[in-house]
Structure 1
Amino acid sequence: MTATLPNVITALRLVMVPVAVILLIMDGGQDGAERWWALILVLLASLTDWLDGYLARRWNVVSSFGKLADPIADKALVLGILAALVWVDGIPWWPLAILIVREVGVTVGRLAVAKGVVIPASRGGKIKTVLQMTAICMYLVPGMPGWFDAIAWWVLVAAVVVAVITGVDYARMISRAARDHREGKNATDHDASRSATGGSEN
């Protein structure tokens, strides 16, 4: 139970994503009960993001699944809610477009090298997530004045800037991991070839 609970919490966060998106779309920008429930779910999802990592470290049960699934759950939550906000509230679409390109690129790259090495979330990536969640939660609060939404907008822009910077850093790490994996594989193949020929070279 101890070994699987953090992963169960991560999976639960993934389930919260479509529910929160559906509630936000159902509200349709009317600032009704559905929007409040969407906000509550997003806040709970943020709490589970902290909780699963805390439990995994406390119980020393950090897993490859958790290292990969946890950031994927974060990305699904952020991109899903942002897409709903673009649709319902009409916030500018370009931050969402940049974040989609960045998150898809990083996720695909991490999965591509997952056999050789698991690349965990960086500190910059965590800062980006905090900024994103702050902006989203501010946007979700019903009935706020225009200046409040303006602050949310600039927090979102800051999140996009951090996302681009950390995306470049992740690309470097993924490229290095892929190169090291290829070099290690080539060295192994070379050793195996030498063993097969008696270890002699002519």
Structure 2
Amino acid sequence: MPGVADGQGLGPVLTVPNLISFTRLLGVPLFLYLFLATDATGWAIAVLAVGGLSDWVDGFAARRLKQVSRLGELLDPLADRLYILATLIALTVKDVVPWWFTIALLGREAVMVLCLVVLRILGHGPPPVHYVGKTATAILLMGFPMMLLARFSEAARPWALPSGWALLWWGIVLYWVAAVLYFIQAGIHVRAGRAAAAGAS
């Protein structure tokens, strides 16, 4: 399946990995509706778990099927961030995770956005996603369903709560490590661009 090109530099659009990413994006409002507007907590946990487990599927499919595209490179981190932010806010509102954890994670996102803005001002695009960041995202997306399960299932609470907190701690630490690595990549990217411009002049 070669996909359909959009002709605007984003590469093939209708590919298997991109369809997976689009489906993951649709899971965000579905989770919020199930969790915040209904009592279908079990289904909300299922949607969140599937979204977390499918985090690596689109990238694996892109490499395996040779369907890597610029659109896919944009959609994948967008889906990750929306899942994490939407889930984090919803769980904080429902007192499943504390505010200090939310602030720590949102602070990291604010730092990343600032970095992207600076890069854009300097005329550079974002560096490629680091595997540490992908690992952190996957761990967080596994930790959130565990915390939900611990909150709404007394039977699962004894093992789900410590498992959930272990995953969230590992996830937030790796998330900040990924941010540091991203800054290093961005610095290398900017210096390489300046060196190339100096050489051309």
TM-score class, shorter-chain normalisation, is 0.7 to 0.9
Matched residue, 2:174? 162
Matched residue, 1:122? 130
State the one-letter code of the partner of 2:138: V
Structure 1 residues 154 and 54 mapped into 2: Cα distance closer, same or farther (>3 Å)? closer
On the 8 A contact 2:52/2:142 being kept in 1, the answer is no
Residue from 45, 49, 55 that aligns with 1:43: 49
In 2: Cα distance, 1:54 partner to 1:164 partner: 24
Residue from 61, 82, 85 that aligns with 2:88: 82
**Residue 173 of structure 1, CA deviation:** 0.5
State the one-letter code of the partner of 2:133: G
TM-score relative to the length of structure 1: 0.78
Please show how residues 22-171 of structure 1 align to structure 2 within 5 Å. 22-27=33-38, 32=39, 34-107=40-113, 109-110=115-116, 113=119, 116=124, 119-141=127-149, 142-143=152-153, 144-145=156-157, 148-171=160-183
On the 8 A contact 2:55/2:138 being kept in 1, the answer is no
In 2: Cα distance, 1:22 partner to 1:51 partner: 24
**Residue 170 of structure 1, CA deviation:** 0.9
**Residue 80 of structure 1, CA deviation:** 0.9
Matched residue, 1:200? none
Is the partner of 1:89 in helix, strand or coil? coil
Root-mean-square deviation (CA, aligned residues, Å) is 2.4
In 1: Cα distance, 2:193 partner to 2:70 partner: 17
**Residue 85 of structure 1, CA deviation:** 0.6
Q: Once the two structures are aligned, what percentage of the paired residues are identical?
A: 28
Count, aligned residues: 184
State the one-letter code of the partner of 2:179: G
1:53-92 superposed Cα distances (whole Å, 9 cap, x missing partner): 1221012121222223212211110121111111013421
State the one-letter code of the partner of 2:28: V
